[in-house]
Chains A and B, each alone.
Chain A
Amino acid sequence: MHAQHFRGGVHPPDYKVFSRSVPISVVPAPNKVRVPLAQHLGVPAQALVKKGDRVCVGQPIGACVGFVSAAVHAPVAGTVTATPDVNLHTNRVVPGIEIENDTSDTLFAGVAPVTTVDRAAIIKAVQAAGIVGLGGATFPSHVKLQPPADKKISTLIINAAECEPFLTCDYRLVLEDGERVVRGAALMMTALDVHACIIAIEDNKPDAAQHLRALLGARADMRVATLPTHYPQGGEKQLICALTGREVPSGGLPMDVGCVVHNVGTAAAVTDAVERGMPLIERIVTVSGDAVERPGNYRVRLGTPIRAVLAAAGCDIERCAKVVIGGPMTGATATDLDAPVIKGTSGILAFSAAWVNADQPRPCIRCGRCGTVCPIGLQPTQLEALANLRDVNALQAQYAADCIECGCCAYICPARRALVQGIRYGKAQITALRKAVKN
């Protein structure tokens, strides 16, 4: 089968060379973690512990409330010292739990494998483990495993594309722990009751693709698809288009075209949740960028301050001009280095001033490149202008809400205009309007 191309996209230099050959190492759990109760999309978790309580590793400290929500667990054993408001790296303030680590790492007694592995048990285990999309979107995974009855799912797609420059955490996970990924994918197939699974990977990681193929062996229901290295190949909608030729309709979800997409990290976490009963308390984070002395891939407990992870990678914070959380294309500049690592923190990239683009935006020259590279087929320059005019009706008529915020338009713009940021402003206006209409 030939992979199809999605429209648009760009080819940024991948810079994975910094960290791709560095095996995953562990950042020691800090003396104090601050675990936010809102690390996911949806309703924040409800605190289950109070000041003075003793908690063990993997003990639930936040309960999943409502359908789109996720549980939160203690990443270290110790005492709850406070329930402060935590400032996330996006400058959002959310309720959190502060735990002082007693370094005993005592495992919570409730952590036990699932005994009978069937559809309901897997979904229950995934929900109990607080698993969310680890690619960065942090959408609760158990929701994606329970599509409404009228949506027939035919294909599970495991996303190992990792199209963002710099990031190598998924690549290292596949190389070092590919078996967990494959087992997790098989569990998710059971949960979704589908009989076809595609693990998608970009062709700049041939060794990982090879490794996965060897692991799959002669399995007929799973296959590895190698896709061209092309940003945003790892975008959900682009991946579906490239693998199946189906286009997710405007305002729709992958399940509208019979697909469910999960990240490789999520698959590995599902294995842990089902086979060991281990909730999501740590993740692999790529620490890279020119200001980092020992770029690499680190296993980090959730709630560890970003500053501590940078220090573990030998980064001189004084030299940093900018720290980006996530990939350079879709990530956010950290507003506070004391913010904790959360479930969606796929990368921490530290750059010195030489690597930071300080160009000022100039007037649009109407070259149309942003429209050419937009994978959704929008007109970014026009949307940006409409957002600045605050013309919500026109923004809606031009499908601003369908923007996936991949950043291709801002990347390609020769006038250095902050197009994706402008569209994000437009989307915020649409959201505000919809909210106002609802009330």
Chain B
Amino acid sequence: MWLYPLLTMSFFGATFGVGLAYASRKFAVKTDPRVQEVLDALPGVNCGGCGFAGCAGYAEAVAAGNVAPTLCSPGGPDVVHKLCAILGVSADISERRVAMVRCAGAATAVRDAAYAGVQTCALAALVGEGFLACKSGCLLYGDCVQACAFDAMEWTPGRVPRVREDKCTACRKCIAVCPKALITVRPESKNVQVVCRSQDRGAIAKQKCALACIACTKCVKTCPVQAISMDGYVAVIDSAACTLCGKCVEACPTHAIQQAHAAA
């Protein structure tokens, strides 16, 4: 009687085997094998700096040729080389980029209100746009420091946070949380920058903060390569044109233009 189960099971086995073999051909999903290769090459930190929710999303888009292979900031040039090799394309490898905080206030900014509420920038900014007289200034509670996943923000409470350029991956998470929109990304070498965003007129800006850009336009006139222009009442340096000569740093009467040095 051992024959019947054996035959039954063999029959089922053969039927399902044929069925599965057919289904695997008929319903096969074509995947690009390069997606997995790209995903393996990416750092896997899911920082979102590329604009996708995570590395997997970026890997799919890159493999499909929809976006440039240069968007991964944490990976840097190494990853760009790897992606180019996988995809068989060439890319313009841009310089490593880092974030910077465009405010030097803190100690110098005048406070015109007492704030004792929840100690975050987001909530402090809701109370009449912050407790500083300068409504563009850093609120010093370090929301950006909390947001940074790479420990790339150096901060003592009560001071403006400073970016540790060696650790920064330009993932832009800090940019998203800053209620004053003070953080931008710049090429690593272009370290001459205006550290003020105040749109107050010169005399008023100076009353509110000793380090404010007072829109005197001295830097605009000094710059030998015309890399500086005025955006309303604040000077802006075009990093692409800047030659890092440092003449504007010397010319600025309020020290609102600073040359950052590599973090110690």
Q: Are B127 and A335 interface neighbours, CB within 8 A?
A: yes
Q: Which of A136-187 contact B (CB under 8 A)?
A: none
| Contact of A421 with B113 in the complex, beta carbons under 8 Å | no
What does the 1/0 interface line of A404-425 toward B look like (CB < 8 Å)?
A: 0000000000000010011011
Interface contact B122-A335, CB-CB below 8 Å: no
Q: Does B117 contact A (CB under 8 A)?
A: yes
> A91 touches which one: B122, B123, B131 (CB < 8 A)?
B131
A335 and B128 contact, CB distance less than 8 A:
yes
Question: Is B188 interfacial (CB 8 A cutoff)?
Answer: no
Our pick among A87, A333, A336, A428 for the contact of B126 (Cβ within 8 Å) is A428
Q: Cβ of B116 and Cβ of A421 under 8 Å apart?
A: no
Query: Inside 8 A of A261's CB, which chain B residues have their CB?
Result: none
Closest to B127 in A: A91
User: Once the chains bind, are B129 and A91 in contact (CB under 8 Å)?
Assistant: yes
Tell me if B128 and A91 are in contact (CB < 8 A): yes
A418 contact set on B, CB distance < 8 A: 117-118, 123
User: Which residues of B, 107-133, contact A by the 8 Å Cβ criterion?
Assistant: 112-118, 122-123, 126-131
CA distance A215 to B128 in the complex (A): 44
Q: Interface on B for A, CB 8 Å cutoff?
A: 112-118, 122-123, 126-131, 176-177
A106 touches B (CB below 8 Å) = no
CB of A316, distance to nearest CB on chain B (Å) = 17
Q: Does A90 make an interface contact (CB < 8 A)?
A: yes
**Which A residues lie within 8 Å of B112 (CB)?**
87, 91, 336
Between-chain CB contacts (< 8 Å), 8 pairs: A91-B130, A335-B127, A361-B118, A390-B176, A421-B117, A422-B123, A424-B126, A425-B123
List of A residues within 8 angstroms of B118 by Cβ = 361, 418, 421-422
The 7 closest A-B pairs by CB, nearest first: A91-B128, A335-B113, A91-B113, A418-B118, A92-B128, A91-B127, A421-B118
Q: Which of A315-363 contact B (CB under 8 A)?
A: 322, 332-336, 361
CB neighbours (8 Å) of B129 from chain A are 91
Contact A333:B117 (CB < 8 A) given known A418-B123, A421-B123: yes
Q: List the B residue with the shortest CB-CB distance to A92.
A: B128
Q: Given the complex, which residues of B lie within 8 Å of A361, measured CB to CB?
A: 118
* Chain A nearest CB, measured from B10 CB (Å): 55
Known contacts A333-B116, A336-B113, A336-B114; A90 and B127 CB within 8 A of each other: yes
Q: Which residue of B lies closest to A388 (CB)?
A: B122
- Besides the known contacts A91-B127, A333-B116, 7 further A-B residue pairs in the complex with CB atoms under 8 A apart: A88-B128, A91-B129, A93-B128, A335-B115, A388-B122, A418-B118, A421-B118
**A425: B residues at CB distance < 8 A:** 122-123, 126
Q: Which residues of A contact B123 (CB under 8 A)?
A: 418, 421-422, 424-425
* A335 with B131: CB separation less than 8 A: yes
Q: B128: which A residues are within 8 A, CB to CB?
A: 87-88, 90-93, 335
In the complex, A87 Cα to B129 Cα: how many Å? Answer: 12
Judging by beta carbons under 8 Å apart, are B117 and A87 in contact? no
A322, A332, A335, A424 pick with most chain B CB within 10 angstroms: A335
Find residues 281-320 in chain A having any chain B CB closer than 8 Å to their own CB. none
Q: Least Cβ distance of A94 to chain B in Å?
A: 10
Q: How far is the CB of A357 from chain B (nearest CB, A)?
A: 11
- Complex Cα spacing A122 to B165, Å: 67
Most buried by A among B113, B115, B131: B113
**Bound complex: CA of A262 vs CA of B81, how far in Å?**
70
Q: Considering the chains assembled together, what is the distance between the CA atoms of A336 and B112 in angstroms?
A: 8
> Closest chain A residue to B112 by CB distance?
A87
